[in-house]
Amino acid sequence: MAVKGMYFLDGGVLTLDKSLVTYKQGFGESLDIPVVPVLIDTDDGYVLFDTGVDPEGLINPDETWGEKQAAFRHFTEENDIRNQLQKVGVSPKDVKYVVNSHFHWDHTGGNRFFDQSTILIQKSEYRFAYYPDWFVENIYLKHQFDYPLNYKLIEGDYEVVEGVYITTSPGHSPGHQSLVVHLPNQCAVLVGDAVYAKENLEKNIPPGNPWSLPRAIESINKLQNIAIRENGHLYITHDPYFWEDYKRAPYFYK
């Protein structure tokens, strides 16, 4: 059993204040960042890393996105996770596992479509999402994840299938997790929101909206060390220049 490859799915574009991407740097400067769920094809079935933005907001933006709708630079029906999967001939029922990096609103918008999948989330994140600290509570939209889905609560690092491994990377949120994928020709480290942009690494600046800054820095160091140890590559899917460096599905990365 092995990993065959992975697809980068186009989940739209958000506009943030740059200081949210680079800690205390760039106040008042707008920055466009992509939303990129990742589909991994394995001999044991499909694994989906995050489900993107809730497409119900295209119909009922006030009820679905609320104040978050101001962040949308670009999101259309094409960016709906179901339509992105369709580009590679996959439907939600074909996805065996969903791995939510964390439960923030731009990573759980399509969770409800995966009612036949096992959804893997850290127990600490699941608990926190229902009763978050006040200063980060607006990042969690309960109506996106509060469904009778097959959530499997895990604690710590975890093997999803052979070649696909969850590694904890808290700091951005209490139970944030990243994904290590052993592809045929490379080791891909999907960082999630543990790293927002290449600039975080190049200038040693942590992301700007962490739940815990010390733990966020520890997680960045951990992921970098995993990449060094595994001779792997960090994929920073919120990086503003991501689509200049990588190709959208149906391109298949091996």
pLDDT of residue 1: 65
State pLDDT tens for residues 163-221: 999 999 999 999 999 999 999 999 999 999 999 999 999 998 999 989 999 999 999 99
Cis peptide before 250 (omega within 30 of 0): yes
Distance in angstroms (rounded) separating the CA atoms of residues 156 and 227: 19
**97 and 160 Cβ atoms separated by less than 8 Å:** yes
What average pLDDT is seen over the chain? 96
Distance in angstroms (rounded) separating the CA atoms of residues 121 and 84: 22
> Looking at the whole model, is its pTM more than 0.85?
yes
Residue 89: which pLDDT band, with cuts at 50, 70 and 90?
Answer: very high
Q: In 3D, which of 103, 230, 237 has the Cα closest to residue 170?
A: 103
pLDDT of residue 158: 98
End-to-end CA distance of the chain: 15
Residue 72: which pLDDT band, with cuts at 50, 70 and 90?
Answer: confident
Residue 148 has pLDDT above 70, yes or no: yes
Residue 86 lies in a domain: yes
| CATH code, domain carrying 221 | 3.60.15.10
Over residues 138-165, the mean pLDDT reads: 97
Query: For the chain, what percent of residues have pLDDT higher than 70?
Result: 100
Residue 224 has pLDDT above 70, yes or no: yes
The single residue listed with the structure tokens 């109506």 is 143
Residue 253 lies in a domain: no
List C-alpha distances in Å: 172 to 20, 40, 71, 93, 191: 11, 24, 19, 30, 11
List C-alpha distances in Å: 83 to 55, 154, 168: 10, 29, 29
Distance in angstroms (rounded) separating the CA atoms of residues 105 and 146: 12
pLDDT of residue 70: 81
How many other C-beta atoms can be found within 10 angstroms of the C-beta atom of residue 114? 22
State pLDDT tens for residues 23-61: 999 999 999 999 999 999 999 999 999 999 999 999 999
Note down the domain range covering 22. Answer: 3-245
Residue 239 lies in a domain: yes
Q: How many domains does the chain have?
A: 1
Distance in angstroms (rounded) separating the CA atoms of residues 12 and 51: 12
Residue 130 has pLDDT above 90, yes or no: yes
